Amino acid sequence: MRSLPWSWYADPALERVERDRIFRRVWHYIGRTEQVAATGSYVAADAGGVPVLVTRDRAERLHAFVNVCRHRGSVLVDDGEGRRETLQCRYHCWTYDLDGSLRAAPRADRELAVQRSELGLVPIAVDAWGPFLFVNADPDAPPLDEALGAVPSRLADAGVDVDALRFHRRAEYSLAANWKIACENYLECYHCAGAHPAFSAVVDVRPESYTLDANGSTASQLGPLRADVNSGGRIAAGHFHFVWPNLKLNVFPGHANLSIGPVLPAGPEASRGFLDYFFAADADEAWIAELLAFDDQVGAEDRRLVESVQRGVRSGAVADGPLLEESEQLIAWFQERVAAALA
The per-residue pLDDT for 112 is 83
pLDDT digits 0-9 by tens, 264-298: 999 999 999 999 999 999 999 999 999 999 999 99
Tell me the average pLDDT of the chain. 96
Count CB atoms within 10 A of the CB of residue 112: 12
Q: How confident is the model at residue 59 (pLDDT cuts 50, 70, 90)?
A: very high
The per-residue pLDDT for 38 is 97
Q: What would the mean pLDDT of 198-226 be, rounded to a whole number?
A: 96
Q: How confident is the model at residue 87 (pLDDT cuts 50, 70, 90)?
A: very high
pLDDT digits 0-9 by tens, 113-140: 888 888 999 999 999 999 999 999 998 9
Q: What would the mean pLDDT of 213-237 be, rounded to a whole number?
A: 91
The CATH class of 28-140 is mainly beta
Per-domain boundaries in the chain:
28-140, 149-342
Q: How confident is the model at residue 111 (pLDDT cuts 50, 70, 90)?
A: confident
Q: What would the mean pLDDT of 215-239 be, rounded to a whole number?
A: 90
Q: How confident is the model at residue 333 (pLDDT cuts 50, 70, 90)?
A: very high
State the fold for domain 149-342. Answer: Naphthalene 1,2-dioxygenase Alpha Subunit; Chain A, domain 1 (3.90.380)
Task: Return the DSSP state at 33.
Answer: G
The per-residue pLDDT for 233 is 81
Give Cβ neighbours of residue 124 (< 8 Å, ≥ 6 apart). 50, 52, 64, 65, 66, 135, 136, 137, 139
Give Cβ neighbours of residue 231 (< 8 Å, ≥ 6 apart). 202, 225, 253, 254, 255
**DSSP-derived pairing of the beta strands 247-251 and 28-32:** unpaired
Count CB atoms within 10 A of the CB of residue 109: 9
Lowest mean pLDDT among 98-112, 193-207, 259-273: 98-112
Give Cβ neighbours of residue 315 (< 8 Å, ≥ 6 apart). none
The per-residue pLDDT for 204 is 96
Query: Dihedral angle at the C-alpha atoms of 298, 299, 301, 304, nearest 10 degrees?
Result: 170
Separation CA 315–CA 160 (nearest Å): 44
Residue 232 has pLDDT above 80, yes or no: no
Lowest mean pLDDT among 19-33, 227-241, 304-318: 227-241
The pTM is what?
0.96
pLDDT digits 0-9 by tens, 304-313: 999 999 999 9
Residue 93 has pLDDT above 80, yes or no: yes
Which is higher by pLDDT, 67 or 112?
Answer: 67
- Are the beta carbons of 43 and 36 closer than 8 angstroms? yes
The per-residue pLDDT for 290 is 95
The per-residue pLDDT for 325 is 97
DSSP result, 41-99: EEEEEEETTEEEEEEE-TT--EEEEESB-TTT--BSS-SEEEE-SSEE-TTT--EE-TT
